[in-house]
Amino acid sequence: MGMERLIALWCPGLLREGERGDEARAFLQVLVAAERFCPWVDPVSLGICTIPSRGPSRFFGGERAVVEKLAAAMGDLAVRHPAVGQVRVGAADGLFAALLAARSGLAVPRGETAAFLAPCSVAVLRRTELAVTLQRLGVHTLGQFAALPARDVLARFGADAGACHRVAGGDEGELVGLRDSGLRRRLETVRTDRADAGHPRQPGFFGGASAADARAAEAFARVQERLGAGAVVVGRLQGGRSPEERASLVPWGARGTTAPSGPSGRSRPGSSPAAAPWPGRLPVPSPTRVLGTPVELAVTDDTGRAVQVTARGLLDADPAAASIGGGPWQEVRGWAGPWPSTERWWSSRRRRARLQILTAAGALLVVAERGGWWVEALYE
């Protein structure tokens, strides 16, 4: 029995999901449009879906006709909903070849999968280490890789490479890692919110949805319907080191703002970038007020000399006095830190160090950068 014949849709502008969640909503539009041709649309990963070729081809008079009609429908969809962007359609035997065919907008004839795959780079296998090793050995294409003895590939590179070898030769149709197992759940949340017509369920304090939550959700949905998705925003924790970086405002209804991510509405530990390790991140408690524009600060030791941060991320003297924005000098009653961080090492390196300072006016979060000090946030 041969591999299943698949028609794939590839949306290059929707392959990565942003903070606003617009890509998932736009991709849902693609799925709905594709379901008019076949009810068995399979979302593979964000921006990629497939439909079985057999049924639609019989109904619409051939596979090529289905591909052309789908491409035309997706072109019309992109005009009505610009967020969808370009959608390419292709067909081939098996998921892997169908995705490559869609990227090129081709319908590969049945039985010609191996010939179609042969000139493709081994990089399309999405196995970086394997691809680099093969290229060093002079194996640059899938055809060259498929020509290697299967026993030697398995012995030299392991089971996963053996699976890649079978796919490269057109003997199998799917690679591990092509599918996003959590995509269906996320899309179902988006679909349910649309179907509820302004009645999405918002988790309460203990994971349920209270009457107040439901009323708020209904009001939010009405405002967004009239003024756009950006009219209602909510706070979201994200990865980062500074208080400003760790918080962002996203449209209500974006992924993670309308449904709990774990039992009882609690987030699963380690399930988000906010929970990942961030060297140089401040310990709890967090500041209560983050300044939109940092205020210049002067910090001196007990001799009146400006305090600096050394190349090793240490203070060259104990802070004794501070002046905020050129104002009166205040005694530094206590301090903690510094917490140094080096950011954007891959381009223009940025070195910063944060310090908590306690004065008579209150507790401050200050940052040192390029020989100067600034007040970044307040502990009120």
pLDDT given for residue 115 in this prediction: 94
Contact 44, 179 (CB under 8 A): yes
Q: Measure the CA–CA gap between 261 and 121, rounded to whole angstroms.
A: 39
Split the chain (380 residues) into runs of 10 and give each run's mean pLDDT.
84 85 87 88 92 88 91 92 92 93 91 92 91 92 93 90 91 86 81 55 42 60 63 60 59 52 38 49 63 81 86 82 85 80 57 81 81 79
Return the closest-CA partner of residue 276 out of 242, 247, 239: 239
pLDDT given for residue 200 in this prediction: 43
Angle between helices 183-195 and 22-34 (to 10 degrees): 80
The residues near 30 (Cβ < 8 Å, ≥ 6 apart) are: 9, 11, 14, 49, 74, 77, 84, 87
pLDDT given for residue 252 in this prediction: 59
Q: Measure the CA–CA gap between 292 and 278, rounded to whole angstroms.
A: 22
Contact 163, 171 (CB under 8 A): no
pLDDT given for residue 352 in this prediction: 76
pLDDT given for residue 304 in this prediction: 87
Q: Tell me phi and psi for residue 332, to 5 degrees.
A: -85, 110
pTM above 0.75, yes or no: no
pLDDT given for residue 103 in this prediction: 92
Q: Are strands 334-343 and 350-359 parallel, antiparallel or unpaired?
A: antiparallel
pLDDT given for residue 189 in this prediction: 78
The residues near 88 (Cβ < 8 Å, ≥ 6 apart) are: 9, 10, 11, 12, 71, 102, 103, 104, 105
pLDDT given for residue 223 in this prediction: 66
pLDDT given for residue 285 in this prediction: 63
pLDDT given for residue 288 in this prediction: 60
Q: 159-163 long-range contacts, Cβ below 8 Å, gap at least 24?
A: 160/127, 160/130, 161/127, 161/130
Q: Measure the CA–CA gap between 57 and 107, rounded to whole angstroms.
A: 12
